[in-house]
Amino acid sequence: MRHVHPNELNAARLGSLRPKRKRWSKEEDTRLYELVDYRLGYTSIAALCREIADQFPGRSVDAIEARVAGLRRPGGNWGGTLERDHDTIVTLQLDEEDENAETKRWEAKVLEAICETANGAELERVGVLQWLARRFCDGRISREAAAGELEAIVTSWFPHTLKPRPRSEPPNAGQLSKKRVRRLQYAVLQRMYRKRRKDAVDMVLTGDWRSSHMPKRRTVPGLTAYWKEVFEVESAVDNRPTPRPASSLWAVIDPIQEGEVRKAIREVGKSSPGLDGLTAADVGKLDNRLVLALLNVLLLLRSPPEALTKARITLIPKVVNPEKPAEYRPIAIASVITRILHKVLASRWSRSHSFADLQLAFQKRDGCCEACDLAGRSSASA
């Protein structure tokens, strides 16, 4: 070593020195706590520390890991232990004597589902939802404050991109050639077949395809004023007392599972998007953990944001060429995310409850066939 160049000798001596231990400051502890609480979705402390190591220059991953293992939430524990190479388990301190103990238990179950591990490109957005859910369940923010934050989050993620625009009148088809008429009729029938096969069959059987090339009247005088008056009528108030059930069926609002979401997306199919422009196919392309976390947060807060509940109204004509406003049928088209949540809850409800024999609405039953059979048996027994 005496014959080594001085620069190499000094570098070797400096490299052999043990690094000086540096105490964690209060600011570093606060920052570390915020990062851990915000990203509580990793399978282990080691993976979490590797992710946030760049936030603490001069600190090794092992040092950050040791500090996280010994760090405690201000005023208590983390609300669950983070164990190395084990899944994150989220628990809540439940008071069995509290009258809302069952609700707290349910909130803990939903929170555990939200805080499950997330991998992929949507990790950051899933972490935002986990952080919001944990603060609400810990009592750090009220339900109103959490709903306000969720409103801002959903508005930024899924902005309303569809804007209403007036429809232009179609050109006059009186001077079209027979070849052009046949092409228009064929195109209309093919589009209908791709969208709704049943309506395409009805169009052929009823003969409506012969007039499908004709321009349909799209504007009816007084259409907007008529339906505006209908929609602005206040709902009737029902003052009847609501009976309190003897028991609660908590299985209906259990945490939403991935299989239920996939089934609901298939049921939504190719239906029209809401104001956010999202289709069922677009939701299916999102990260599964993001969709699950969002639906479970909606379930947890019991207050869906306005960005997902505001719907666009489409007026569907009841006849081939409507001439009066009453000859239209309004349809409200909400966000696909809201419809997926409704389908999951409706499926659970229908499996858990029995309905009356005459209850045909909102059920998968052949109402016409059953009604005809009931009428036939009634007339036969009269």
CB atoms within 10 A of CB 245: 7
Residue 305 has what pLDDT?
Answer: 92
The per-residue pLDDT for 338 is: 94
367 occurs within a structural domain: no
CB 44 within 8 A of CB 86: yes
330 has which bridge partners?
315
CB-CB contact of 143 with 302 (8 Å): yes
Q: With pLDDT > 90 as the criterion, what percentage of the chain qualifies?
A: 18
Same domain, 225 and 126: yes
Residue with tokens 């589009």: 191
> Cβ–Cβ contacts within 10 Å for residue 144, how many?
10
Task: Write the DSSP assignment of 53-70 as a string of letters.
Answer: GGGSTT--HHHHHHHHHH
pLDDT score of 345:
92
Q: Does residue 31 share a domain with residue 62?
A: yes
**Is pLDDT above 70 for 125?**
yes
What is the SS3 assignment for 121?
Answer: coil
Do 188 and 258 share a domain, yes or no?
A: no
Q: Picking from 11-25, 50-64, 358-372, which range would have the lowest pLDDT averaged per residue?
A: 11-25
Task: Confirm whether 241 is domain-assigned.
Answer: no
Q: Does residue 200 sit in the same domain as residue 223?
A: no
Residue 171 lies in a domain: no
Label residue 299 by pLDDT band (50, 70, 90). Answer: very high
Q: Which long-range contacts (CB under 8 A, 24 or more apart) does 224-229 make?
A: 226/325, 226/326, 227/313, 227/315, 227/325, 227/328, 227/330
Question: How many domains are contained in the chain?
Answer: 3
DSSP string, 165-227: -PPPPPPP-TT--HHHHHHHHHHHHHHHHHH-HHHHHHHHHHTGGGGTTSPPP---TTHHHHH
- In the DSSP assignment, the letter for residue 97 is T
Q: Is 145 domain-assigned?
A: yes
Same domain flag for 147 and 36: no
Q: What is the pLDDT of residue 200?
A: 87
pLDDT given at position 85: 34
pLDDT above 70 for 284: yes
Q: Can you give the residue range of the structural domain that contains 205?
A: 178-211
- Assigned domain for 302 exists: yes
Residue whose C-alpha is closest to residue 307's, from 131, 158, 122, 110? 158
Q: What is the mean pLDDT of residues 108-135?
A: 80
Do residues 85 and 148 share a domain? Answer: no
Q: What single string gives the DSSP state of each residue in 268-284? A: HTTPPP-TT---HHHHH
Coil vs helix vs strand at 293: helix
Within a domain: residue 237? no
Whether residue 113 is found in the same domain as residue 73 = no
On whether both 152 and 183 belong to a single domain, the answer is no
Q: Is the domain of 73 the same as that of 188?
A: no
Nearest to 55 by CA among 42, 71, 39, 70: 39
Is there a single domain that holds both residue 187 and residue 261?
no
pLDDT tens per residue across span 186-232: 888 888 888 888 888 888 888 888 877 776 656 788 888 899 899 88
Residue 72 lies in a domain: yes
Rounded to an integer, the average pLDDT of 149-176 is 77
Residues 189 and 157 in one domain: no
| pLDDT tens digits, one per residue of 325-369 | 888 899 999 999 999 999 999 888 887 777 776 777 767 777 777
Q: Which of 149-163, 239-253, 301-315 has the lowest mean pLDDT?
A: 239-253
Phi and psi angles of residue 331, each rounded to the nearest 5 degrees, phi first: -130, 125
Give the span between the Cα atoms of 263 and 256, in whole angstroms.
12
Residue 266 lies in a domain: yes
pLDDT of residue 139: 86
Q: Determine the Cα–Cα distance for residues 48 and 70; give it in Å rounded to an integer.
A: 15
Same domain for 132 and 225, yes or no, is yes
Low-confidence winner among 58-62, 264-268, 353-357, 371-375 (lowest mean pLDDT) = 353-357
pLDDT for position 324:
87
